[in-house]
């Protein structure tokens, strides 16, 4: 194995290449504790400290990306870098095993990047700043932990632990129905994650004693060790468990993504959450679902994934269309953006379900692109809400003449979300479509698995998805028209222009969206080897 670099106490605290991930998680935790220790900090001090730690974490992730060997290709798990693995709970064989590969590194970058912007966007928060920024930093640590853990129990712990800060951030700093939204968010995710825990412990149980092995939570070993992964393929000892496990995992991650019909927590959580928290929720937390599918479900249960592809793809397509239609009916601007997230994340599910290189790469790209565009959209909504103190689309209008610079960047955000060629949304959607139609090729994995029966559903899914892009354009353009165009309204005359921080956050996100749209290979080339390694496990 390439990864077991076992480190124990003092070595693990030395800062070097192998401990960079641990430091990346420690940095925000230290920052949070530091803020909590300041007695009665002024808002200015708390947010400066928080920003400093966010930026430091971001710089660490940039350093990691710089040190990361992007050209490293290999089997799933062989290209793990910055690995750190030492035993934590001996009787359960739980390891503190962290590491990144091409699949997780982009998400780590996205997380730290969005966190800096969200922290910056939090400068307007005045209510108990100390708690707010400490929770924000703890949330950041938890999110990084989810993306870097390679031990399943460790993954689960981070997955759960990242819920608490979110619960409090929505519940304390949220809007009028914050308590309802916070507990709904929490219970939905908990419902899904208990299923994940059951699967994780089941995997652990089934690997006990196989060929003299110790029961393990090691994701890489579970996915690549033929004796272990064979358990869950046809003829294996645990194949009955595997089909249940695939669905339990899928439900757990589908809540997070969120896929229809498990999406109903999302609009409530978004509407009540403060703007920066919405940005993080849409940009990072939803990605944990898609990442979980790619990282855990598909590598561990490829056969079940292929057998159930139709249902998974159907859920994806249904989410795309349903999300778009419901978004169209919304009067609350933020709710509309929330439903558009449901629709966009449907592409991710579809792209993963079809199991083609283009589809999976498209799903991956779509997640990253949505991370940028949804954060931007929520920020755009937040700017209006700060000024108008409401988000009702029918009451808005004519903002273009009052706030031209803002509207300019808002248009970039809208088009990025809509998938206009040249912007980030386009690449992900078109690649998922190409992947879907590509899966209809006679030699594709799905066609071979199903003996050609997948052809007709695949074409239908492709056509429906392509058609749904019209719906996306319809609700977004219609919103653009109602909010920004039309005669200027007198009650909005006093609106100040963009503040410095608002402008720079919009510019940063907008430029990223453009760069990703124009130069997609900047993202696609580095993630390709990792995606291929996942698909090789799947069997294509």
Partner 1 sequence: MEMPNLLPSYQQIEPFLPEVALIAATLAVLLIPVFSPRKNILAVAITTTVGLAVALIGLIYTRSLAMTGHTYFGGMLVLDPFAWFVKLLLIIFTGLVMALWFVDSHRRMVSRGQSGDAPEFFTLLLAATTGMMLMTGTTNLLMMFLALEMSSLPSYVLAGFRKTHRPGAEAALKYVLFGAASSAIMLYGMSLLFGLFGTLDLAAMHPHNLMDANRIVLVVGVVGLLVGIGFKIAMVPVHFWCPDVFEGTSIDITTWLSVASKAAGLALLMRVLTLLMHGGDSGDAWMRWLPIALLILGGITCFWGNLGAYPQQNIKRLLAFSSIVHSGYMLVALAAVIMPGEIVDGGETAQMIKGPAADALLFYLFMYVFMNAGAFMTAAAIAQRIATPTSSGERLDDYAGLARRAPILAGAMLLFCLSLTGMPLTIGFATKIKLFSVLYNTGQGIGWIGVGVVGINTVMGAFYYFRIIKQMYLVQTDLPRVIEIAPATVLSLVLAVPNVAFFLGYNWIDEVAHRHCAISLSLPAEQLPQSAQADVSHR
Three-state secondary-structure class, residue 100: strand
* First vs last C-alpha separation in the chain: 23
Of the candidates 401, 403, 345, the residue with the CA atom closest to the CA atom of residue 373: 345
CA distance 320 to 148: 29
- Residues in 272-291 at the binding interface with partner 1, rule: CB under 8 A: none
Could you say whether residue 107 binds partner 1 (CB under 8 A)?
Answer: no
Least distance in Å: CB of 178 to partner 1? 7
Could you say whether residue 265 binds partner 1 (CB under 8 A)?
Answer: no
CA distance 167 to 521: 37
Cβ-in-10-Å burial (0-12, 13-18, 19+) of 66 comes to exposed
Least distance in Å: CB of 154 to partner 1? 10
Query: What angle in degrees, to the nearest 10, is found between the helix axes of 357-388 and 105-121?
Result: 0
Q: Please answer whether residues 429 and 419 qualify as being in contact, where contact means their C-beta atoms are separated by less than 8 angstroms.
A: yes
What is the DSSP annotation of 455-507?
Answer: HHHHHHHHHHHHHHHHHHHHHHHHHHHHHHSSSPPGGGTT-----HHHHHHHH
Q: Which of 204, 246, 347, 400 binds partner 1 (CB under 8 A)?
A: 204
Three-class HEC string of 158-177: HHHHCHHHHHHHHHHHCCCC
Could you say whether residue 197 binds partner 1 (CB under 8 A)?
Answer: yes
Could you say whether residue 43 binds partner 1 (CB under 8 A)?
Answer: no
Could you say whether residue 91 binds partner 1 (CB under 8 A)?
Answer: yes
Nearer to partner 1, 156 or 301 (CB): 156
CA distance 286 to 265: 12
Could you say whether residue 12 binds partner 1 (CB under 8 A)?
Answer: no
What is the DSSP annotation of 30-96?
Answer: HHHHHHHHSSS--HHHHHHHHHHHHHHHHHHHHHHHHHS-TT---STTTT-EEEEEEEEETTTTEEE
Could you say whether residue 172 binds partner 1 (CB under 8 A)?
Answer: yes
Segment interacting with partner 1, rule: CB under 8 A, options 175-183, 275-283, 329-337, 464-472: 175-183
Could you say whether residue 445 binds partner 1 (CB under 8 A)?
Answer: no
Nearer to partner 1, 96 or 310 (CB): 96
Could you say whether residue 382 binds partner 1 (CB under 8 A)?
Answer: no
Least distance in Å: CB of 115 to partner 1? 22
Least distance in Å: CB of 272 to partner 1? 11
Nearer to partner 1, 163 or 399 (CB): 163
- Residues in 146-165 at the binding interface with partner 1, rule: CB under 8 A: 153, 156-157, 160-161, 164
- Using only C-alpha atoms, the chain has a radius of gyration, in whole angstroms, of 22
How many residues belong to the site for partner 1 (CB under 8 A)?
Answer: 30
Least distance in Å: CB of 306 to partner 1? 25
Least distance in Å: CB of 29 to partner 1? 13
Q: Give the number of other CB atoms < 10 A from CB of residue 205.
A: 12
Q: Please answer whether residues 166 and 214 qualify as being in contact, where contact means their C-beta atoms are separated by less than 8 angstroms.
A: no
Segment interacting with partner 1, rule: CB under 8 A, options 37-45, 177-185, 487-495, 500-508: 177-185
Least distance in Å: CB of 155 to partner 1? 11
Could you say whether residue 95 binds partner 1 (CB under 8 A)?
Answer: no
Could you say whether residue 301 binds partner 1 (CB under 8 A)?
Answer: no
Nearer to partner 1, 161 or 411 (CB): 161
Could you say whether residue 178 binds partner 1 (CB under 8 A)?
Answer: yes
| Positions that interact with partner 1 (CB under 8 A) | 89-92, 153, 156-157, 160-161, 164, 167-168, 171-172, 178-179, 182-183, 186-187, 190-191, 194-195, 197-198, 201-202, 204-205
């Amino acid at each position: 194995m390439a990864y077991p670099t076992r480190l124990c106490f003092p070595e693990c605290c030395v800062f070097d290449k192998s401990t960079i991930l641990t430091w990346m998680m420690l940095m925000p935790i230290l920052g949070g504790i530091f803020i909590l220790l300041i007695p009665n900090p002024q808002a200015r001090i708390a947010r400066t400290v928080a920003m400093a730690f966010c930026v430091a974490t971001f710089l660490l992730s940039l350093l990691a990306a710089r040190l990361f060997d992007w050209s490293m290709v290999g089997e799933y798990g062989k290209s793990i870098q910055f690995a750190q693995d030492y035993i934590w709970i001996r009787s359960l064989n739980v390891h503190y095993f962290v590491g990144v590969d091409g699949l997780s590194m982009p998400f780590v970058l996205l997380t730290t990047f969005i966190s800096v912007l969200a922290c910056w966007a939090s400068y307007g928060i005045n209510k108990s700043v100390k708690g707010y920024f400490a929770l924000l930093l703890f949330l950041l640590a938890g999110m990084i932990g989810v993306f870097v853990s390679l031990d399943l129990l460790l993954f689960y712990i981070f997955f759960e632990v990242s819920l608490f800060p979110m619960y409090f951030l929505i519940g304390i700093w949220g809007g009028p129905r914050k308590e309802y939204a916070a507990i709904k968010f929490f219970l939905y995710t908990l419902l899904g994650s208990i299923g994940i825990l059951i699967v994780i412990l089941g995997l652990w149980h089934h690997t006990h004693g196989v060929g003299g092995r110790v029961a393990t939570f090691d994701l890489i070993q579970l996915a690549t060790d033929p004796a272990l992964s064979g358990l869950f393929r046809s003829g294996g000892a645990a194949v009955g468990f595997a089909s249940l496990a695939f669905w339990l995992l899928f439900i757990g991650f589908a809540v997070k993504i969120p896929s229809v019909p498990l999406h109903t927590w999302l609009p409530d959580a978004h509407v009540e959450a403060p703007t920066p928290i919405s940005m993080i929720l849409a940009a990072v937390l939803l990605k944990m679902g898609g990442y979980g599918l790619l990282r855990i479900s598909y590598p561990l249960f490829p056969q079940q994934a292929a057998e159930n592809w139709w249902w998974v793809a159907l859920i994806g397509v249904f989410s795309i269309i349903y999300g778009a239609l419901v978004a169209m009916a919304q009067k609350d601007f933020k709710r509309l953006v929330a439903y558009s997230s449901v629709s966009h994340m449907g592409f991710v599910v579809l792209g993963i379900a079809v199991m083609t290189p283009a589809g999976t790469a498209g799903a991956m790209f779509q997640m990253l692109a949505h991370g940028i565009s949804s954060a931007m959209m929520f920020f755009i909504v937040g700017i209006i809400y700060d000024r108008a103190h409401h988000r009702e689309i029918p009451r808005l209008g004519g903002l273009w003449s009052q706030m031209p610079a803002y509207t300019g960047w808002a248009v970039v955000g809208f088009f990025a979300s809509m998938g206009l060629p040249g912007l980030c949304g386009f690449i992900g959607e078109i690649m998922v479509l190409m992947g879907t139609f590509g899966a209809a090729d006679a030699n594709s994995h799905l066609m071979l698995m199903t003996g050609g029966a997948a052809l007709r559903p695949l074409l239908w899914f492709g056509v429906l998805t392509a058609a749904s892009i019209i719906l996306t354009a319809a609700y977004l353009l219609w919103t653009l028209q109602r909010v920004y165009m039309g005669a200027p309204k007198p009650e909005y005359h006093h609106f100040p222009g963009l503040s410095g921080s608002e402008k720079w956050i919009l510019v940063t996100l907008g430029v990223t969206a453009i760069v990703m749209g124009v130069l997609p290979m900047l993202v696609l080339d580095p993630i390709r080897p990792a995606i291929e390694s996942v698909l090789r496990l799947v069997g294509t």
